[in-house]
Structure 1
Amino acid sequence: MSSYSRATLGRAIQDFTGQDPSFRTVAYFSMEIGIKSSIPTYAGGLGLLAGDMLKSAADLGVPMVGVTLLYRKGYFEQAFTKENWQIEKPSTWDPAAELTLLPNQISVSIQSRDVRIRAWSYEISGLTGYTVPIYFLDTDFELNQPEDRQFTWSLYGGDILCRLCQEIILGVGGLRILRDLGYNNIETFHLNEGHAGFLTLELMREMGYYDPQKVREQVVFTTHTPVAAGHDYFKYDLIEKTMSEDALATLKRMMPSEGVSMTELGFRYSHFVNGVSKKHAEVSRKLFNVPNIQNVTNGIHPMTWISPGIKNLLSRHIPGWENEPGRLIQALALPSDELWKVHQASKMRLLTYVLEETGWDLKSDILTIGFARRAATYKRADLIFSDIKRLTQIGHGKLQLIFSGKAHPKDEGGKALIQEILNISNKVNPFIPIIYLPNYTMDLGRLMTQGVDLWLNTPLRPREASGTSGMKCALNGVMNFSVLDGWWIEGWIEDITGWSIGPEPSSSDLHVYNESQDALDLFDKLEKKIIPTYYDDRNKWINMMKNTIAINSCYFHTHRVVKEYCEKAYGIAFRGM
């Protein structure tokens, strides 16, 4: 095992290797990476987690490099028809304005053609000036055929053949680009979901002989979802049309079946496999019958998601918290009046945005609930509308709701869910203002997770592997009101850090439980606990805000996540921190 000791943060990489800061031992591969809104190469939680991980690696001086694809049309910009149906428009941007084009080029054989791949770079600069580079792979240039240039147009766009080609580019092309850039000392390749799984095939080719164990020693795999749509599967009759004969023969030896599950590829050829919360690891062990799945619960990058007011407040009262978020336990002693004032400032920024974008003049003294995430049916954004009569009875004059989130372009159920919410809002708005903000981006995500009073999360369990939006809220003193799934099982203390929805989970409710209990509990707690506390017991509400910063945010951050991966999976031991 390597050792990673450092006298100061600024000498982190030199202390680790005794070499130049460009020396890297960990390569982090992800289909999407979210850095900022102006680089729209992310769709949601998977990409934002990847960006937060790399930012914390830069803060901590971890010798890491990131690899992803460059999507010239981004994910998509969201708009709505008169019938409230989501439509998608390209999210065009200029890579040259954000990234640096490198001279390096490699090729990968796809559909019997040599597809040229080049790389753009972006450097994340950490708190001490240490940088972590991210390489964006690009096929959209003149040396490629028109159909090959489209491979790096859209994130999660195109058909299954396009997805297969994209994943070959990421896994095989990504490793070849790293080698061409001079990264010959990588010891660990971290696959953030199965999309980059073909990297294992390229590692096998590099060795020149068949040695599965040698590949496993170099690979770490994180699975992110128990939902079937999140696990790519390619039949061999499709793969045969895309890969060279030599690559296909090796792959069939690695995966002797009718096709390739990218998740199973990750399981088979990794020495460390993890889920992204304790519950998710438990669910995944049963779902995939893989007993060695461990857990590293997700987190968020504090400096990316914290509001200006909370940041200044914490810096005044808890010096040094920025690079040691564990110190946030001291938030229990924050002055109540100061915390309330900075939260109200964040709330006013959000309500001003709502007014500018929608014309709705929401009130700063009304309990404001936020719900924003990918619009998938299992996330049940409509659960709070399951009893509109009761909702209006308990919430009239006391609640206002702000929603946001995109449905995948091919998810008709998700689009129908958004349409339902928009249609309901027109009926309920005379009693309870309900706002749906389009184009959920990182910038809007910051506004919402900083500015609402309460964060609502109602997934059909156990499908919420982790969830990170609620962690962003916690850092800003916003309590969670959530189904007990994913990270919230670990962060929840009833009436202390927030509130639960529905019964406590057990090992027997892996697939089926009484969903009606969730709706009943949601309305009961809104009526009997949450609304009375907000309006009648301000001291308790503010104390809960302190609790959520101190108890949740001191643990659910990517500094802790990166350290866990270093010690459990990368062979890097932190000492003296």
Structure 2
Amino acid sequence: MMCEHACAKETQAMLKEFIRNERIAYFSMEIALQNDIPTYSGGLGVLSGDTLRSAADLEMPMVAITLVHRLGYFRQSIDDHGGQQEQADPWAPEKYAAPLPAKVAVTIENRDVWVGGWLYILEGHMGGRQPVLLLDTDLDENTAEDRQITDRLYGGDACYRLKQEIVLGIGGVRLLNALDFNVRQYHLNEGHSALLVLELLRRHAYPAADLRQGESPYDVPSVRELCNFTTHTPVEAGQDKFPYDLVSRILDDFVDSETLKGLAGRDQLNMTSLAMNMSDYVNGVAKRHAEVSRRMFPGYRVRAITNGVHPHTWASIPLRKLYDAHFPGWCHESEQLVRADCCIPKDDLWQAHVEAKKALIALIQERCGITLDAELPILGFARRMAAYKRPDLLFHDLARLREIARRRPFQIVLAGKAHPRDEAGKQMIQLLHEHIRELADAIPIVFLPNYDMDIAFKLVSGSDVWLNTPLRPFEASGTSGMKAAFNGVPNLSVLDGWWVEGCIEGVTGWAVGNNDESDNGEDAISLYRKLDEVVLPLYHEDRDGWISVMQRAISKNASIFNSHRMMRRYASDAYIR
């Protein structure tokens, strides 16, 4: 008991540092805090982590709210037939975070569910600090069922997901209040946390005696002014939706039902619609994505703040040293990298890349027992294994791929997880392994299992070409190619998401296909033509020209597509208004 009391006092002392000033409360279902804390599944979580790392570096006053996800996402292994196997990936929050000195209750299925949490302090490499609250229902006060609500990231059915989103949104706002945080605004990173606006509506309810017939019982404009919403998906299926009979059973009459249906949809509770209707500032994560979102939600003003990646996190150690030597302060002001094409000696850049490539080859040898050739180009492809990402496009015509490799050899490294309930994604992984076996005598191909931040870091820095081949227009942004650019690795990608803004043909990389709707056959022809006639000849026969593209990937992509620029845009466009 004394230990618990001492820990609570120590945490309270740490919290004092953070509750003095107004803060932006940043809500996200997943946040990649560090590689060995499995509170993330992919791009959304890694972006959230980069957001907070830049906020720490820039000393922007924020506080992040997420779930503790005690069992993580999942650990991936691949069987002999290419089948994905999933195991729980538990972690111990007490090893990384301190218990919070407050608990709050939310009502779920007409019973109190208590929500506590943990304080994780994210420290930027420049000394800045950001508090992250990891919400946790694994408390003695709760039933065995309720203790599991915060266990699994994207696990369970719609009922489990709704309970998680009640804890995140409603519980998150209440815990911030209990801890005396002075919240200036709420930033909803994707729709998972949209229920927080219902808690805010209750706090901004008009006295019943003051209401006239037909008037809203809530001060909707005041709540709207408090909220910002970033949407990340141009895919209808990617939006959380819940039938109202489920909402009624789980959440009861938390707010006036007519108000809720007017904000979230008449037929079912659409979390994206709720967030858009209750946020004064709404943005997509790339210019193209904002255009697509405006078509999906006509009548809404959707701005664009294109994503970025954290400079210090994603540049390899050899590249960091090179940047430090030529552009002191580049981590804080990445626009300095605009001079990389004229100020970084080509030999030095190539040597730094070779070191990063050797680190990737060593990782592959360690994890897979396969030795790649450092002299041959490596094509890297790693992302969530979903059908619209088209990881199989490169293998559309195996005979053509063999023919290209016979003339100018290359190697391929793949990685990625499919959601445990995404059977099509799992089948895609099996198909990739079939292609690996079919091409074993012609092209060295490796699939790195259990894709995580560490593997991503090695891949984006050690590959020679970064591939991205999603169906247009379903890529909201994509950030892996931005990470590659920070390492001088050019992109060979479909013109969607951020690459529409970053691609200068033959200068920063190369486009696959055109701006029209995707066609697998046409896109595959374009991909093979670029590989055969442009990319591989340049790598094999004109090293000086190849390094020039590397330099320009840094100067024209990394200098722009970084999370410091992104956070400055959020501050100027969304937070200060």
Both structures adopt the same fold (TM-score exceeding 0.5): yes
Corresponding residue for 2:63? 65
Alignment match, 1:160: 158
Q: Residue 211 of structure 2 corresponds to which residue in structure 1? A: none
1:205 CA displacement = 1.0
Residue aligning to 2:429: 418
Amino acid at match of 2:167: I
Question: Residue 438 of structure 2 is aligned with which of 403, 427, 433?
Answer: 427
Match of 1:206 among 203, 206, 215: 203
Q: Is 2:532 the counterpart of 1:523? A: no
Which residue, out of 191, 194, 205, partners 1:197? 194
Give the Cα–Cα distance (whole angstroms) in 1 for the partners of residues 334 and 521 of structure 2.
38
Q: Residue 182 of structure 1 corresponds to which residue in structure 2?
A: 180
Is the aligned partner of 1:221 residue 2:229?
yes
**Cα deviations across residues 326-383 of structure 1 (Å, max 9, x unaligned)?**
1111211201111101100000010011111111111000010000000000110010
The equivalent of 1:550 in structure 2 is: 555
Report the CA distance between 1:399 and its aligned residue: 0.8
Matched to 1:48, the amino acid is V
Q: 1:371 aligns with which of 381, 384, 393?
A: 381
Q: Deviation at 1:20?
A: 7.5
2:25 aligns with 27
1:423 is displaced (CA, Å) by 1.1
Name the amino acid aligned to 2:532: E
Q: State how 1:121-520 maps to structure 2 within 5 Å.
A: 121-183=119-181, 185-209=182-206, 210-247=218-255, 249=257, 251-252=260-261, 254-255=263-264, 257-332=266-341, 333-396=343-406, 398-503=409-514, 505=515, 509=516, 512-520=517-525
Q: Is the 8 A contact 1:120 1:135 kept in 2?
A: yes
Deviation at 1:100, TM superposition (A): 1.3
For residue 127 of structure 2, what is the amino acid of its counterpart? G
Report the alpha carbon displacement of residue 80 of structure 1 after superposing the two structures with TM.
2.2
User: How far, CA to CA, are the matches of 1:480 and 1:294 in structure 2?
Assistant: 26
Q: CA deviation at 1:248?
A: 5.8
Give, as a single letter, the amino acid of the residue that structure 1 aligns with 2:311. Answer: P
For residues 139 and 79 of structure 2, what CA distance do their matches in structure 1 show? 34
Structure 1 residues 20 and 106: CA distance shift in structure 2, 3 A: closer
Q: Which runs of 5+ in 1 are unaligned?
A: 1-18, 573-577
**TM-score normalised by structure 1 residue count:** 0.93
Aligned mates of 2:229, 2:393 — CA distance in 1:
34
C-alpha distance after superposition, 1:27-49 (max 9, x if no partner): 10000001211110000000111
Which letter does structure 1 place at the counterpart of 2:183?
I
Letter in 1 for 2:28: S
Deviation at 1:94, TM superposition (A): 1.1
In structure 2, what is the Cα distance between the partners aligned to 1:196 and 1:254?
A: 15
Please state whether the residue corresponding to 2:525 is helix, strand or coil: helix
- Secondary structure of the structure 1 residue equivalent to 2:380: strand
TM-score of the two chains, using structure 2 as the length reference: 0.93
- Distance between the aligned counterparts of 2:300 and 2:139, measured in 1? 45
AA aligned to 2:423 is E
The Cα of 1:149 is off from its aligned counterpart by 1.0
In structure 1, what is the Cα distance between the partners aligned to 2:412 and 2:41? 23
Q: Give the secondary structure class of the aligned counterpart of 2:27.
A: strand
**Aligned-residue offset at 1:224:** 0.3
Q: For residues 246 and 19 of structure 2, what CA distance do their matches in structure 1 show?
A: 42
Aligned partner of residue 228 in structure 2, secondary structure: strand
Residue 110 of structure 1 aligns to which amino acid in structure 2?
I
8 Å Cα contact 1:61-1:126 kept in structure 2: no
Alpha-carbon spacing, 1:130–1:357, altered in 2? closer, same or farther (3 Å)? closer
- Output the CA distance in 2 between the equivalents of 1:561 and 1:105: 34
Q: Judge conservation of contact 1:370–1:403 (CA < 8 Å) in 2.
A: yes
Show CA shifts across 1:64-115 (max 9, x none).
Answer: 1100001011000001233221121001111111111112110100011100
Contact 2:190 2:232 (8 Å CA) reproduced: yes
Distance in 1 (alpha carbons) for counterparts of 2:236 and 2:149: 24
Distance 2:18 2:386 in 1: 46
For the aligned residue pairs, the C-alpha RMSD in angstroms reads: 1.4
- Structure 1 position 141, deviation (Å): 2.3
Query: Which amino acid in the other structure matches residue 540 of structure 2?
Result: Y
The residue type paired with residue 245 of structure 1 is: D
Matched-pair contact (CA < 8 Å) for 2:263–2:273: no
Q: Which runs of 5+ in 2 are unaligned?
A: 1-16, 207-217
Q: SS at 2:288's partner residue?
A: helix
Tell me: CA distance 1:300–1:20, structure 2 relative to 1, closer, same or farther (3 Å).
Answer: closer
Following superposition, the deviation at residue 126 of structure 1 comes to 2.8
Match of 1:5 in 2: none
**Displacement, 1:21?**
7.5
What SS does the corresponding residue of 1:137 show, helix, strand or coil? strand
